[in-house]
Structure 1
Amino acid sequence: MAVGFVALDRRINRDTEALHDFLWHGEKKDGKSLIRSLRNDARAADVFLQLGGRLRTNVDELAEDLQSSGKGESLFELLSHSWGLGAATVLYSKRNYRGAADRSKSVISSASIGVCANAGCFEFVEEWEAGKTDFETYTGKLADFLEPKGFMDSGQFKRVMNAVYEFAMNWNAVASKSEQTLAARTSIEGAGWCLLTSVSIRELLGAPPWFSARDFAGIVERIIGRM
């Protein structure tokens, strides 16, 4: 029986949040039950978004040991980012353009945190989350940190993240429907680009995620193609 979007969205958000708390906040969970739920989520999301098995296969491999160095974190990123971007396209198709932009913002915010955590500058995240800096200052610091390490598109990465973030934070609800449609579409496509770029940055830094970058690119391309 096919699972509806609202129910699946609620389920995946619940389970990825549980994984987040398990990995980063030390909350006690039934590991086997959580793995089973995440695998079921990945299978359902793969079918719903028509991803050709890429999401399911990679999640199954990562879920073999959540506490193995980096694998649990990569599972969280793969499932939450893929589904978050996919959810944005669903909201776009339902003409909930503001909702689509907001989900895109959440995806790029999370991806930027993953970059900082693996680049050795997590203090930028802590400052931003504590309200000591705004998002633009945060991404500016990240770009300045990355450029000397050889990532020459750091300025572009910063600008696209800022654009996606600003569309959601300062949504113009009185703009024409055409403008809102294009704003949502730009947010989704920008978020997809940021997701792939974040993986490229981590590969350059020698700290790539544990999932297949090629499969992830295919996932993002298929999701963007839904619009």
Structure 2
Amino acid sequence: MAIAFSALDRQLTRDIRQLHDYLWDPTWNGHESKLQTSLVKGARSLDTFLHAGGRLRKNAESLAKPWNRERQGSSLFELLDDAVGLTAATELVRTGKYREAVMRAQAVVESTSIGVCSDAGHFEIVEEWEARKIDFHTYTGRMAAVLESKLIPQATQFRRVLNAVHNFGSEWDGSASKDEQRLAARSAVENGAWCVSRSVGIRTLLGTPPKVSEKDFGVILNLIVNRL
């Protein structure tokens, strides 16, 4: 990864982890105003890096002000986690670190699936997977069944693509040629972006749309994928 982005990735990833704990860990006792300032600063830097024309920055600023759990919910976390994770993956592809790229894409789709499952009202499925009581394929199968019961279109396709990205990471073939590894990494990143995009549509149909519009999310995702 380029030095400038590598530093941004490290800082923003640390801040996103802190944001995760702030939102969902009642024992978190960090400094809220410092976290808010650092997240907004990171979003601005990522917006500049992606040449996003303020689209990412403005959404992040809107979600971070006023600052409280109820205001941004999971939307700020998802916007920044998806954007920095997939951007990092593209940078890793560009520098020939294909397995690392796939792992970043895998992390994005796993997080995306959790958001969908939660909004579908079945977080217990997530808890079973996180406790390793079921494997990822069983987990996504149950999630797809829930979505189909709610008449959500493309639920099975969503599951298949989630599994494909996950499999690239969990079953990585280091013996493959560099060309084949590059194609696998590109596929994981592009399919990861599709999963994020589809999740926005699914959650909108579930009646719990992210606070970032489908249009803005789509523009940001395309800017990231076009870096490949």
Which of the five TM-score ranges fits, normalised by the shorter chain? over 0.9
Structural mapping, 1:110-149, within 5 Å: 110-149=111-150
**1:63, 1:72 within 8 Å by CA — same for their partners in 2?**
no
Q: 1:92-134 deviations in whole A, cap 9, x for unaligned?
A: 0001010110000000000000111111010010000000000
Q: Which runs of 5+ in 2 are unaligned?
A: none
Tell me, yes or no, if the aligned pair for 2:63 and 2:71 is still in contact at 8 Å.
no
What does the per-residue CA deviation read over 1:134-178, in whole Å, with 9 as the maximum and x for residues that have no partner?
A: 000000000000012111201100000000000011110010111
* Identity across matched positions, percent: 49
Tell me by how many angstroms 1:72 deviates: 3.5
> What value does the CA root-mean-square deviation take over the aligned residues?
1.3
Q: Which residue is 2:22 aligned to?
A: 22
CA–CA distance in structure 1, aligned partners of residues 136 and 66 of structure 2: 34
CA distance in 2, matches of 1:82, 1:179: 25
Do the aligned partners of 1:88 and 1:103 also contact (CA within 8 Å) in 2? yes
Counterpart in 2 of 1:78? 79
Task: Letter of the 1:223 partner, please give it.
Answer: I
- CA displacement, residues 31-83 of structure 1 (integer Å, 9 cap, x when unaligned): 21111000000001111122221110000000013425261411000011111
Q: How does 1:50-89 map to 2 (within 5 A)?
A: 50-69=51-70, 71-89=72-90
Give the residue type in structure 2 aligned to 1:6.
Answer: S
> What amino acid does structure 2 have at the position aligned with 1:157?
F
Task: Give 1:91's aligned residue.
Answer: 92
How much does 1:211 deviate?
1.4
Task: Report how many aligned residue pairs link the two structures.
Answer: 226
Q: What TM-score results when the alignment is normalised by the length of structure 2? A: 0.96
Q: Which blocks of at least 5 consecutive residues in structure 1 are unaligned?
A: none
Moved over 6 A (4+): none
Instruction: Output the amino acid matched with 1:79.
Output: L
SS of structure 2 residue aligned to 1:69:
helix
Contact 1:85 1:223 in 2 (8 A): yes
Q: Residues of 1 paired with 2:70 and 2:137: CA distance?
A: 31
